[in-house]
Homo-oligomer: A and B are copies of this chain.
């Protein structure tokens, strides 16, 4: 295949592709709302039908306790060839507040070179692009360089409650050498971006119990331990004055950045004034010797997300409360293990438990950190594909947040994960007037086609 052939195929079929996309975006597949269950199913069927037309085999809607998972594969590259798994989702966020939409969320409208509809960017539009890119490669070359598998779920917007079990139970069927996910955004317009790692998470709630009922602070204060005093003492023990986590062993397994990664992050540039204005702070804060990106992407954190106890109304109430509480989450980086970190945290709580109160620790769900090595051929091939189409250097990032499903894919399938996102910060995902820029749709299709070519070269596939 040549770039020229692909370009002309995509150009010729652009109108039809957009018509198909409009059709897909017209289905109100809001997974959170039971009233839309039939619509959500319809989107699943639309996806499976589209896969069938593409020439995928074993196409099926795999039932779950919630919305079904669409699977399909094309395994004709041969057993000796690598396999690529493409993950996406056909469900969308709710649309409230509806009155803020300029055009109805499920009546896709093109204006100013953007297509407006719920799901245009997140993630129906981007999942659709994968199907159309493979259509173009098949149409122009008659074959595909790898075996391909699609796994398109319908519950991403409600936290993917059923996907982990599905992956675990079907790991043979889903086995792959590379996993590609297009459900993220570029850092800014015309800056193609590869996010090659995300932080993991673990968290817990602290419940501190003192006297059996609220007491009058004048009558008992000074003689009965106050659960608020205990909780603030315990919480304050988690950090030193510079924001460094003081839990024993917390940083032991943290993998330092390579010099290539450091250089890649420095190349991004960071407009401190803009970010300060955006979040409304005078100064940043955190571990000395680390940049903003390092602090939020590659350093682990312990963040107190909530604290509460005693009186919260206006004015004063002289109470010594019976209870106080806190909610805490840690962001984890390779090679921290959530279970190991939770054990360290529990040990810390035991060691620092103030006298006179009982402290209970309740664990929340957890997720491992994930990183595909920066220099992995699958990452570097993606970078070259972006640069070929966009004609600028690819930006490499890692993410401060967590995508539990990516951790699961990573853990169960043990394959490198490539996050090739074509969205933009201006796409309004999860908000009114979600849209997808047509330039990103067009160039994204070209990038995906280029990726398969670059990846084939990198993996030495004839």
- The interface of chain A, by Cβ under 8 A from chain B, is 199, 201, 203, 210-213, 215-226, 228-229, 231-233, 235-237, 239, 241, 243, 279-287, 292, 295-296, 299, 301, 303-312, 315-321, 324-325, 327, 329, 331, 354-356, 364-365, 399-402
Contacts and interface: CB of A to CB of B under 8 A. Distances in A.
Contacts of A292: 223
Contacts of A306: 228, 309-312, 317, 319, 321
A287 B222 contact: yes
Contacts of A310: 304-307, 327
Contacts of A324: 307
Given A306-B312, A319-B305, A356-B285, A331 B228 contact: no
A219 B400 contact: yes
A305 B217 contact: yes
A345 to B, nearest CB: 15
B305 A320 contact: yes
Contact of A224 (B225, B284, B317): B284
B283 A218 contact: no
B296 A320 contact: no
Contacts of A283: 355-356
Contact of A212 (B280, B365, B399, B402): B280
A400 B218 contact: yes
A294 to B, nearest CB: 9
Contacts of A327: 310-311, 316-317
A318 B308 CA distance: 16
Nearest to A277: B212
Contacts of A401: 216, 218-219, 318
A284 B357 CA distance: 10
19 contacts: A199-B218, A217-B329, A218-B296, A218-B400, A219-B296, A221-B400, A224-B286, A225-B243, A228-B304, A228-B307, A229-B304, A232-B235, A233-B236, A284-B356, A305-B319, A306-B311, A306-B312, A307-B307, A316-B365
